[in-house]
Amino acid sequence: MQTWYQPEQATVESALLEDLSIDEPWALIERFTTLVRESSSEDEREAARYITARLEALGVPHTVYKPDLFLSVPISASVEVEGQRLRAKTPSMAVSTGEEGITGEVVYVSSNRPEGLDTLFHFSNGGEVDVRGKIVLTDGYAFPVAVGHYQERGAIAQIFINPGVDIHWGICTTIWGAPDLDSAPRQPKVPVASINRPDGEALKAKVQAGRTVVTVRTQHKQGWFPCPVIVAEIEGCEEPERFLLVHGHYDSWDVGIGDNAVGDGTLLELARVFHNHRDRLARSMKIAWWPGHSTGRYAGSTWFADTFALELDRNCNAQVDIDSPGCRWATEYHDISWMTETEDFCVQAIHDITGKEAFGERPHQAGDYSFNNIGLSGFFMLFSTMPKALTEEKGYYPVGGCGANIAWHTENDLLEIADRDHLMRDLRVYVATLQRVLNNAIHPFDFRKLGRAFRDTLNLYAEGTDGAVDFGPAFVALDHLQEALERLYQAVPGLADRPVSDPAVRAVNDVILELGRWLIPINYTRTGRFRTDPAVPIPPLPDLAPAQNLAATTGHERNVLRTHLLRGVNRVAWTFERAAKVIEAA
Ligand SMILES: [Zn+2]
């Protein structure tokens, strides 16, 4: 593994680490236990005032923006069965029924449960059942793929049986951030309610015993609402125009301590410490607290990506998402999100600070990863988590935050979910990681590794086509790109001791950033730069992923798929060629 971290940075890193304290983050966490931070609420504004007052007191320069965000805040929900109203929650962005509700016959469709975080957002059910004109009852979370699936098949309402005794809040739209002409038609068109496992099992038994009619009632506050976006800025000394974007959401479901008051406190402590040592930072840092994450599908970060797209494209080195660090029992680093080019660097930083082996995965099309269409390298989202053996021992099912505590997205996400020691350990990892991106001569992102991952992906997909689609142009362009990458990175060790402002260093870094602008969009998006892709699982090189289905198709369907893949090969090969040219032109 290449050592990205230069020894002379050790003194800066030690100074930053020594300055860390639990006081500032813990005070924020305690204050946030009294604030129900749903977006557009007075409590959210109070939370914003708290953060800005602390930044003021610490002398950290910051800006507060007040964009109008498109939100859907759940207000109430119920499922009425034979005159009895079951407790329910409706996901954000589902349809409001009003008090009359939607009444219909229930049909149960079984669904396969996710084994872990890696498949949490995937959807597969027990087979096709005719749901037209019916109210679907199924297992799991009301995630967008499942909701879209049953909506398309004509269900008039949907009821999700959550896996435990608590009901989890969530959001069911695939629209990422504010809708535009392309995405607006995907606004969900059905009422959706979630109920808990005991109520769900009882209802399921009733449905299986005979015809069962229920009434689903849902109510939301939907519209465009002004919400504060807070961005702190710490200016570096050598290359101030280049910046690292570190961010997390401060709106939450209820008081959301593990998701995400702990992240908000972390961001504040990072702002304090890095600002204190700003004279030893080569590059700049922007630290952002987003509203609209929970009830606007990442509306705050998407607004920022839209509004500052060109500046992010020109000067942002990378983006780091901070969500649910420092939670109870969270001692391990697995299921950590990182883009391939950042993996070695992240593994090393976590190991240097904690002595632990970290295991990661391709970032989900989730969290505040609202920058993939611009092409920003990104790492981290959720962070330290409970050991798998412990979740098994406790009988916990997979959740999407809180370090695997099942209080996630429920009223139980209280102060007890935060852990001082784990938060301090995670803060140390963040400080080391961010410091290295800010001060390393060469950006620690290895696109050779992405080149190798692209080859594995192409091999897998090409195998699926059995020669019926010519992947040759993509392979040829990738050969060319990989040769260019080898030459580029050969120069890196010789530049490692130079100052950040050295023109030869700057030239390599410009190329590294430009590579991301080309290679990240084709690996995470299909709609192109400056647009947003749907919030559904997106496989690597998504233009070509359907190749895996080719063998199962015939006739018209097969010709459609072949056409799709031919266009996909063109897009991918062309992009590889452009990326190689970026290196050659430097
Ligand atoms: Zn979160």
Measured in angstroms, how far is the CA atom of residue 88 from the centroid of ligand 1?
21
Measured in angstroms, how far is the CA atom of residue 529 from the centroid of ligand 1?
25
Distances (CA, A) of 522 to 19, 57, 250, 314, 427: 41, 43, 30, 19, 32
pLDDT tens readout for residues 340-357:
999 999 999 999 999 999
Measured in angstroms, how far is the CA atom of residue 577 from the centroid of ligand 1?
37
Measured in angstroms, how far is the CA atom of residue 424 from the centroid of ligand 1?
19
Find the length of the chain.
586
pLDDT tens readout for residues 425-439:
999 999 999 999 999
Show the tokens assigned to 393.
Answer: 């021992």
pLDDT tens readout for residues 85-121:
999 999 999 999 999 999 999 999 988 777 676 676 6
Measured in angstroms, how far is the CA atom of residue 255 from the centroid of ligand 1?
12
Measured in angstroms, how far is the CA atom of residue 31 from the centroid of ligand 1?
18
> What is the pLDDT averaged over residues 435-454?
96
Measured in angstroms, how far is the CA atom of residue 436 from the centroid of ligand 1?
25
> What is the pLDDT averaged over residues 461-470?
90
* CA 345/CA 5 separation, integer angstroms: 9
Measured in angstroms, how far is the CA atom of residue 302 from the centroid of ligand 1?
15
Higher model confidence: residue 110 or residue 315? 315
Measured in angstroms, how far is the CA atom of residue 328 from the centroid of ligand 1?
15
pLDDT value, residue 1: 41
Measured in angstroms, how far is the CA atom of residue 583 from the centroid of ligand 1?
37
pLDDT tens readout for residues 404-427:
999 999 999 999 999 999 999 999
Measured in angstroms, how far is the CA atom of residue 33 from the centroid of ligand 1?
16
**Residue 568 is inside which H or E element, if any?**
helix 555-585
Measured in angstroms, how far is the CA atom of residue 106 from the centroid of ligand 1?
33
Residues 6+ apart with CB under 8 A from 553: 561
Kind of pairing between the strands at 62-65 and 102-109: unpaired
**Residue 455 is inside which H or E element, if any?**
helix 447-465
**pLDDT value at 502 more than 90:** yes
* CA 231/CA 119 separation, integer angstroms: 33
Average pLDDT of the chain, as a whole number? 95
Measured in angstroms, how far is the CA atom of residue 248 from the centroid of ligand 1?
8
Measured in angstroms, how far is the CA atom of residue 30 from the centroid of ligand 1?
18
pLDDT value, residue 83: 93
